[in-house]
Amino acid sequence: MTLFDFFESVELPVPAITPMQAADIAAQHFGVQADVAALGSQQDANFLLRDLTGVPIGVLKIANPVFSRIELEAQDAASAFIAAGEGIRTATNITLAGSPPIAQIDGHGDGDETLFPRIITYLDGGTLSGDAYLRPAQVAGLGALAGRSCRALANFDHPGVDRVMQWDLRHGIRTVKVLAEHITDPGQREVVEAAAARAWQRVTELADDLPIQVIHSDVTGDNVVCDRDGIPDGLIDFGDLVRSWAVGELAVAISSVLCHDGAEPATTLPAIEAFHAIRPLGPAEIDALWPLVVLRAAVLVVSGLQQSSIDDDNTYAVAGQNQELRIFERAMQIPLDVMTAQIRTALGVARSCDPITADATLIAGLDPRDTVRLDLSVESDAMDAGAWLEADCEDRLARAALAGGARAVLTEFGQARLTRSVLLSESSPATVATGVQLWPATPLTITAPWAGALEVAETGDGPLLTVIGSAGTLRIRGGLRLSAAAVPGQSVTAGTDLGTIEGPVWIQCLRHPDTAAPGDAEVPDFVRPDYAAGWLDRVSDPAVLLGLAPTTQPAEDAATLRQRRSRAFAEVQEHYYDQPPRIERGWREHLIGTDGRSYLDMVNNVAVLGHGHPAVADAVARQWRRLNTNSRFNYAAVAEFSARLAATLPESLDTVFLVNSGSESDDLALRLAMATTGRNDIVAVAEAYHGWTYATDAISTSIADNPNALSTRPPWVHTVPSPNAFRGEHRGTEASKYAPEAVAIIEGLAAQGHPPAAFIAEPFYGNAGGMALPDGYLRAVYAAVRAAGGLAIADEVQVGYGRTGRWFWAFQQQDVIPDIVCVAKAMGNGQPLGAVITTREIAESFRTQGYFFSSAGGSPVSCVVGLTVLDVIETERLQENALTVGDHLKSRILGLAARHPLIGTVHGSGLYMGVELVRDRTTLEPAAEETTAICERMLQLGVIVQPTGDRQNVLKMKPPMCLTRESADFFVAMLDRVLSTGW
Ligand code: PMP
């Protein structure tokens, strides 16, 4: 029996079979009565069979008649083999009693075709077809599945696998050559052919060392099915089963990742790592991988165009064309050698790169002692106060160092420069330097570091001098005056005088042998951190050529730091995100990772003024130098700050306690209420969070913070229902029923002999997602608690201090005056600072408990922080900003809600908002998993936002109050992108 040879029958139109004919085949050959629906396929005819109740029976697969029975038998056998060997779900032949596993229909079509229909299992869970975004875990899942398929099939053989397929990458170049004519645009054809040829050349060099075995050869998004989390766990369509290079299994899977939204070469690394963990890649396989991805992409482009040219009814093939081009373009984004080095690094097998040394010093007489190394990293002190955002920051710092007496100033090789960071960017910016910059104080003579050939070119920055030696290529560009010896084409010996450096120059040193292929991009001056390992593999630290020490690369990345943290820091103090970036700087509403990636910070409500505010830093530094002690001493700051704080509140609230946190302020408020009333019972609102101390934890019933919160309340804690007008028991206008309900509970407690000491609530419900309380709620409840002899406590820890825009204190929205106000967070802009503000009389009641003292509460430094924060809120008009930018943001998100049904509602006011995500606007089913996944993807797009609320389905939005309109618009654009393209 002859097996298929693509090059003998290049055209494979899908067998022309209607759903009606398919139903007949199912009935006649398999005795199955079924509803039939066509499924797409590039070259077979597939139909989903359902029974009369709609339950899937299986998939009727009618292979392209060019394939012989033994090939189909091989596919069925391989499928069963993988299922048995790896325990993964695969689509296997359903052999029905009384029917053959593979039926035969002779004389189809023009009468000379034989069809081999069979029914295989239908696997539920859905595929990863289409171009929606894939999470790193899904990408890893695809790689793992390819790894398991490859591992299992290493032990499989069958006479039906030695076929000649266009998808077998061993025939990749031949396929591209045969089908390239289908690319009608000559320019594009040339690009695809050239890319395939280059990739092929690389693969051929390695081919002898590439293991060969049977592979599925089509582990793509279309051919996997997923578990409930959307992670691929099943494999279908064995139609391309073939003996080929084992690593091809992975190359195919990777290429399919590239068509998805936001994918790029670096985002495929989780698949490579997952594959490697299951089926380790050999050195040649690692080196051949990206060339094979490019080759696969080229095959996809030409095959897709060919299939639609012969079969323009095949919507599956036509729809795939854009995807195929996208895969190709993305595979080509990074040169082969750069991506290969990047993969090696990801797999922990990077080649070691010692710096290239010089035979003669490039610049004689440069002494490390009078050469200043300019630190432009995220952690450099020179970057404070947003200095890095000035266009000439690097130059200014260098010139300042020269003015300070340096002979030369040199930047660091391989450093991620904050000065190259870009705010509000959806992808990481090119921050990593592949060379160094040098500023001379006076002209410096340069000599050839090695013997080599010279090249000279003019660039926009000045002359570019290249010395091509045997160990490396030196490139110097910029403020050069070349000597008579610097003649293009000239060969020079080491030490030849090449001219002088008179102004700033850029110096790059390329390694030899240069792994770049002709036509590959030159190494850019700056590269994105995602590919830095790959690019830096091509270059060497030029500082060594100057007789200076090489830059030591920071050894600790974000993941290593996280491990170190978990060794010494109690892990119950959780962290945001699966893989949090390492953030070491903040500026205004931006946080910046050590790789120079900036993130828009939508969650740091504590940093009201924004991060890194120089006014706070300066005031603190000054006060620290002068005095920091405790409030038992007599100094002005404590008097001044207490008065300023009391002045923000209604007249009756005139007495201040200073503490260090929200928990402490709430705890003290409870003690004050208990001392004043002589009672112990407290009424709190369900779903609240008030702190971590023993008492504040007792009154916190948010299950997001403590899953056992409701069942572990001590008897003195009583709750009233969360007055949630969106999804609580009473919704919309019915929400007015919450107040009488709470009143009845308070009255009931009093009647049972447990009149409460206090009622405590956030006056704007921050913990539930930033929702306003129903109108009149606090007025009624405060009246009831006071009627029962208790006090009203407002927890303004999250929502106070102007954040809601319309009010400085959130209780103003409810038109009430509490007896005790608790505040923290914003008060110190991140410095531990909290306060309780109450009446003189209530404050005095504490005397029954002894006296009150908090060592650092009210210290001079804390008071100065508090005063400065109030000053800046005023001078920078941050409450006003919270209102205007907040309103703008809210209206823009409501605009998104018109297009994205997942947005159930937008709660909040000013810059305290919550975007509540629901699966269904009628049932309000919380979209919790979606919310978490959306937050993860937003991080990748440069936005930090987190879930909140008991159902974890609200995006909490409480950014620094200096948020600009531009930043708000960026947030909306990224949310729109995620909601449109997936998470
Ligand atoms: N009350 C409320 C409403 C809060 O949100 C928090 C903190 N999330 C606290 C009190 C406790 O504040 P801290 O973390 O400063 O102790």
pLDDT value at 64 more than 70 = yes
CA angle 367, 370, 371 (to 5 degrees): 80
The enclosing H or E element of 871 equals: helix 860-875
Q: What average pLDDT score do residues 253-282 get?
A: 98
What is the 796 CA–ligand 1 centroid distance (Å)?
A: 9
pLDDT value at 769 more than 70 = yes
Which residue's C-alpha comes closest to atom 2 of ligand 1? 690
Q: Reduce the DSSP state of residue 50 to 3 states and report it.
A: strand
Between 310-324, 862-876, 894-908, the lowest mean confidence (pLDDT) is in 310-324
Among candidate residues 685, 691, 631, the one with its CA nearest the CA of residue 663: 691
Ligand 1 atom at minimum distance from 834 CA? 15
Confidence of residue 517 (pLDDT cuts 50, 70, 90): low
Between 170-179, 242-251, 372-381, 519-528, the lowest mean confidence (pLDDT) is in 519-528
Q: Reduce the DSSP state of residue 60 to 3 states and report it.
A: strand
Distance CA 307, CA 318 (A): 8
CB of 666 within 6 A of ligand 1: the answer is yes
Q: How many residues in total does the chain contain?
A: 983
Q: What are phi and psi of 786, to 5 degrees?
A: -70, -35
Q: DSSP class of residue 727?
A: T
pLDDT value at 362 more than 80 = yes
Identify the sign of the CA torsion 808, 814, 820, 826: negative
- Give the pLDDT confidence of 435-475 residue by residue, as tens digits: 999 999 999 999 999 999 999 999 999 999 999 998 899 99
- Give the pLDDT confidence of 794-822 residue by residue, as tens digits: 999 999 999 999 999 999 999 999 999 99
Ligand 1 atom at minimum distance from 799 CA? 3
- Residue 314: its pLDDT value, please? 64
- Give the pLDDT confidence of 393-440 residue by residue, as tens digits: 999 999 999 999 999 999 999 999 999 999 999 999 999 999 999 999
CB of 830 within 6 A of ligand 1: the answer is no
CB of 663 within 6 A of ligand 1: the answer is yes
- Give the pLDDT confidence of 819-856 residue by residue, as tens digits: 999 999 999 999 999 999 999 999 999 999 999 999 99
Q: Which of 573, 605, 663 to mutate to test the pocket of ligand 1 (most atoms within 8 A of CB)?
A: 663
Q: Determine how many CB atoms are found less than 10 A away from the CB of residue 271.
A: 27
Cβ-based burial of 939 (10 A; exposed 0-12, middle 13-18, buried ≥19): buried
- Residue 317: its pLDDT value, please? 64
- Please report, as a single letter, which amino acid is at residue 944: I
How does the average pLDDT of the chain come out, rounded? 95
Tell me the whole-structure pTM to 2 decimals. 0.95
Q: Determine how many CB atoms are found less than 10 A away from the CB of residue 636.
A: 9
- Residue 1: its pLDDT value, please? 62
pLDDT value at 757 more than 70 = yes
- Give the pLDDT confidence of 626-662 residue by residue, as tens digits: 999 999 999 999 999 999 999 999 999 999 999 999 9
Distance CA 840, CA 294 (A): 76
Which residue's C-alpha comes closest to atom 10 of ligand 1? 690
CB of 798 within 6 A of ligand 1: the answer is yes
pLDDT value at 207 more than 70 = yes
Q: Which residues partner with 854 through β-bridges?
A: none
- Residue 845: its pLDDT value, please? 96
